[in-house]
Amino acid sequence: MRYRNAYFIGIGGIGMSAIARYCKYKGCNVSGYDRTPSDLTRELEAEGMAVHYEDRPDLIPSDRDDTLVIYTPAIPEDLGELATARKNGFKVLKRSRVLGEISEGQRCLAVAGTHGKTTTSTLLAHIFKESGEGCSAFLGGISRNYDTNLLVSGNNVIVAEADEFDRSFLQLHPEIAVITAMDADHLDIYSDLDHVRQAFKEFASQVTGTVITKPGLDITGRDTSARILRYSFNEPCDFYADNISKDATGNFTFDLHWPGGTINNCRCGIPGWVNVENSIAAAAAALTYGIAPEKVKAAIGSYMGVRRRFDFHVNTPKCTYIDDYAHHPKEIAAALSSIRGIFPGRRITAVFQPHLYTRTRDFAPDFAEALSLVDKLILLDIYPAREEPIPGVTSEIIFDKVHAPEKVLLKKEELMDYLEKEPVDVLITFGAGNIDRFIEPITEMLKKRTDAK
């Protein structure tokens, strides 16, 4: 980094914090603003970064020529700090642009997709780390293997989660790219599914070596000059699994077929069939790069997952609690399908906090269909994030369409009192808002309840 100071507006975001950590690693003085404290901002402060929680333009470093201001598009355009930085002539860049500049001239492996990209990119980085090849990695979640969203290495390999929000991934020109899904999402940005798919096609056109994607996803030779390979959970193609079996913990063992042969008896380190599919995607990228098959197999087995991605906090025969970041109907449906597969016959209760008014408006029937897969739904108010309310858009437009055997609509402040009286067999919390603030109290409550029995 050629700047002495790096100032972040929205420093507590998962993608922003990875770049903040990278700038700190490169020797910059790092500071910034976020709207609310979180575990992540507290970690950044403990690592020596000054973070504040009020809109304070006066805290931007005064040395304009030696300060880079980095912001996330999730920040309101009229925020005082952002307006002041622009008005006063600071170099102001979006997070995605900075990641693009960091990856320039490097061997970049990127994972894109409307869901599955965080688990897949984090596993891909773990494969590189465990194999001894090494990589720098900018991740969209906190790796449980390394307790961070940033890995650094002395070589020229970068693994990046390629985020489609705000078309951020178009700043990347990867050598190898995985595309996991191209579903409708972020329709406040894209307006419709056709524009979502067009953005992914444009991303594919920027790949210089190999695009790895699923059968059925509309990426063809008309969209990219890169080689196209396909991966699947169990449909025969370039990379797929067979001889799939599940043990009592929900972890799967499978044989992985790839163009170079078969890797027998791969055991996925985290449970759920969706993670077999994610493992195949990550393995496909690593094998295409040239990582040895036996090292890929070992890393799949030692992978511990990502915080808030199918994340087990309590797991006994009588009580299980899982937290998951899922905030799109297809993510929720896939997670619930995996949970049903792991715990057949058990009673599943889901707590869901919708994320964004626009997403709730655009997908209310799809959310209702996915959430109807549970035995009981506890639905919370919408977490607005960057958005202003939309008239007529509340959690009720999902709630009214849900056909689960039981359902209840609660305010966030009522949740813990309600759960205190609620029998729990399998409980899962879903959402990308501040529902994560409940993980610790729910875990403590259930562990006390389990210990008292």
**Do residues 289 and 197 share a domain?**
yes
What span, in angstroms and rounded, lies between the C-alpha atoms of 51 and 9? 10
207 plus 126 within the same structural domain: yes
* Residue given tokens 């964004």 in the structure block: 356
**Does 317 lie in the same domain as 430?**
yes
Asked if 261 and 289 sit in the same domain, the reply is yes
- What does pLDDT average to over the chain? 94
Token digits of residue 113: 């997709």
Question: Looking at the structure, do residues 45 and 133 belong to the same domain, yes or no?
Answer: no
The count of domains in the chain is 3
Verify that 16 and 58 share a domain, yes or no.
yes
User: Within this chain, do residues 331 and 289 fall inside the same structural domain, yes or no?
Assistant: no
pLDDT tens for 236-255 read 999 999 999 998 778 899 99
Q: Which range (24-33, 49-58, 283-292, 333-342) has the least confidence?
A: 333-342
Q: b/e per residue, 218-237, with b = 16+ CB within 10 A? A: ebeeebbebebbbbbbeeee
Q: Of the residues 302, 324, 339, which one is the last residue of a structural domain?
A: 302
pLDDT in tens, 9-55: 999 999 999 999 999 999 999 999 999 898 899 999 999 999 999 99
pLDDT exceeds cutoff 90 at 272: no
Question: Same structural domain for residues 124 and 228?
Answer: yes
Task: Work out the end-to-end distance of the chain between its first and last CA atoms, rounded to an integer number of angstroms.
Answer: 56
- Assess whether 141 and 74 both reside in one domain: no
pLDDT at 453: 60
Taking 70 as the threshold, does the pLDDT of residue 424 lie above it?
Answer: yes
Tell me the CATH number at 235: 3.40.1190.10
Q: pLDDT at position 92, please?
A: 97
> What CA–CA distance (Å, rounded) separates 35 from 75?
9
Q: Is it the case that residue 110 has pLDDT exceeding 80?
A: yes
Q: Are residues 343 and 421 in the same domain?
A: yes
Least confident of 117-121, 337-341, 404-408: 337-341
- Residue 40 one-letter amino acid: L
What pLDDT sits at residue 164?
Answer: 86
In terms of domains, do 385 and 423 share one? yes
pLDDT at residue 451, as a whole number: 76
Domain stops at, among 257, 274, 302:
302
**Residue 452's pLDDT band (cuts 50, 70, 90):** low
Average pLDDT over residues 111-117: 91
Q: Which residue range is the domain that position 84 belongs to?
A: 5-95
**Which carries the bigger pLDDT value, residue 73 or residue 428?**
428
What is the Cα–Cα distance from 449 to 434, expressed in whole angstroms?
24
Work out the pLDDT band at 341, boundaries 50, 70, 90.
confident
Q: What is the pLDDT of residue 306?
A: 92
CATH assignment at residue 411: 3.90.190.20
Which range of 127-136, 156-165, 239-248, 428-437 scores highest in mean pLDDT? It is 127-136
Does residue 399 share a domain with residue 335? Answer: yes
pLDDT beyond 90 at 296? yes
Higher pLDDT, 196 or 20: 20
Task: Please tell me the predicted confidence (pLDDT) of residue 28.
Answer: 96
**Residue 307 clears pLDDT 70, i.e. is over it:** yes
For residue 76, what is the domain's CATH number?
3.40.50.720
% of the chain surpassing 70 pLDDT: 99
Q: Which domain-ending residue is among 95, 127, 153?
A: 95
Q: CA 266 to CA 253: how far, in whole Å?
A: 5
- Give yes or no for residue 336 having a pLDDT over 70: yes
